[in-house]
Amino acid sequence: EGFGPQEYTAVKAEVLEWSPDAKAEIEGKVGGRKVFFVAATLRPETMYGQTNCFVGTAIKYGVFAVNEKEAYVCTYRAARNMAFQGITSTRGEINQLLTIDGTTLVGTKIKAPFAIHPEVYVLPMDNVLATKGTGVVTSVPSDSPDDFQTVTDLKKKPEFYKIDPSWIALDPVPVLSTPTYGELTAAAIVKQLKIQSQKDTKQLAEAKEIAYKEGFYNGTMLVGEFKGESVQDAKPKVRNSMIEQGLAFAYAE
C-alpha cells in the first residue's frame, strides 16, 4: 500500500427492513431519517454485481445523523473522518444516534445501488477490519476473492454462521470479463489457488492482487451504462454516475 491517502467510493445502501433485533434497538432513535449502510470500495465499476453486504460480528457500529433526513451506519472512526471531510452537515461534529453490534445488523435487508439484484442482505464476514474504510464491505463475489470465499463459506454452513440460507441465495452476477479468467474472475482464481475458506488469508491476499490487476488492465464491462468499455475507462464513469445520482460520495483516509 502507498503512503498517500486512499480515495474510496462510499456507496450508500438504504435500509429496506431491519433485522428484528436491530429494529428493536433502533426504534424511535433515528428521528424519521432514512438510514443507509455505507460501504467503502475501490471497485465502483463492479457494483452491478453486489449480492449482499458484510459487517464484522466483533465490530461496534454506530448510526450517525448526516442531516435531518439521513443517517449512516458505519464505525465511529469513519464517521469522524466523514465529519472532517465535510460529508456531514455539521462540519467536524459527530451526531451519534446509537451504538449497535455487528451481529445485531445481520439479516437486515438493504437496497444495493446499481446492483442487478437490488435487494440484498447484511451478512457476517470474519476478515472485516474495524480500522479500514467504514467497517462495512459491499460484497461482489464475481470479482472479489474475499467476497466469493466468504459467500461460499456462508452457503456451506449457514447454521454455524447463524444466518438464514435465503439471505445468501443469490449466485455471483457476471459484471466484467477478462481474457484469462472469463466472467467470474474471483471464482476462477480461488479455485486456481486452491483456497478452502476465508481463513486462508495469505492466499486470499494473493488472489485479490491477481483479480484486481486482471480486472483493471484487461477487463471489459458486460453490464450497465458502460457495457463494452474497458474497466479502466468505465471505472471513473460509474463512480461519477453514482455520485451524481446521490448514491455514493468520495471518502478518503
List contacts with ligand A2H (CB under 6 A).
6, 40-43, 46, 127-129, 132-133, 135, 137-140, 143-144, 147, 208, 212
CB of 71 to ligand A2H, least distance (A): 20
The set of cell numbers assigned to 156 is 456451506
179 burial (CB, 10 Å; 0-12 / 13-18 / 19+) is exposed
Alpha helices (runs of H) in 53-144, residue ranges in sequence order: 76-84, 102-105
CB of 137 to ligand A2H, least distance (A): 5
Q: E strands along 29-187, which residues?
A: 34-41, 52-55, 60-65, 70-74, 95-101, 109-111, 119-124, 136-139, 176-177
| Shorter beta-carbon distance to ligand A2H: residue 70 or 146 | 146
Residue nearest to ligand A2H (CB): 133
| Shorter beta-carbon distance to ligand A2H: residue 70 or 147 | 147
CB of 112 to ligand A2H, least distance (A): 11
| Shorter beta-carbon distance to ligand A2H: residue 109 or 132 | 132
157, containing H or E segment: none
The set of cell numbers assigned to 31 is 428521528
Provide the 3-class DSSP secondary structure of residue 84.
Answer: helix
Provide the 3-class DSSP secondary structure of residue 57.
Answer: coil
Cβ 179 vs Cβ 213: under 8 Å: no
CB of 165 to ligand A2H, least distance (A): 22
CB of 70 to ligand A2H, least distance (A): 21
| Shorter beta-carbon distance to ligand A2H: residue 24 or 58 | 58
Q: Are strands 7-17 and 70-74 parallel, antiparallel or unpaired?
A: unpaired
In the chain, what are the helix, strand and coil shares in percent, each to the nearest 5?
30, 25, 40
| Shorter beta-carbon distance to ligand A2H: residue 76 or 212 | 212
CB of 32 to ligand A2H, least distance (A): 29
| Shorter beta-carbon distance to ligand A2H: residue 39 or 71 | 39
Please spell the DSSP secondary structure of 178-242, one letter per residue.
BTTTBT-HHHHHHHHTT--STT-HHHHHHHHHHHHHHHHHH-EE-SSTTTTSBHHHHHHHHHHHH
CB of 69 to ligand A2H, least distance (A): 26
| Shorter beta-carbon distance to ligand A2H: residue 128 or 234 | 128
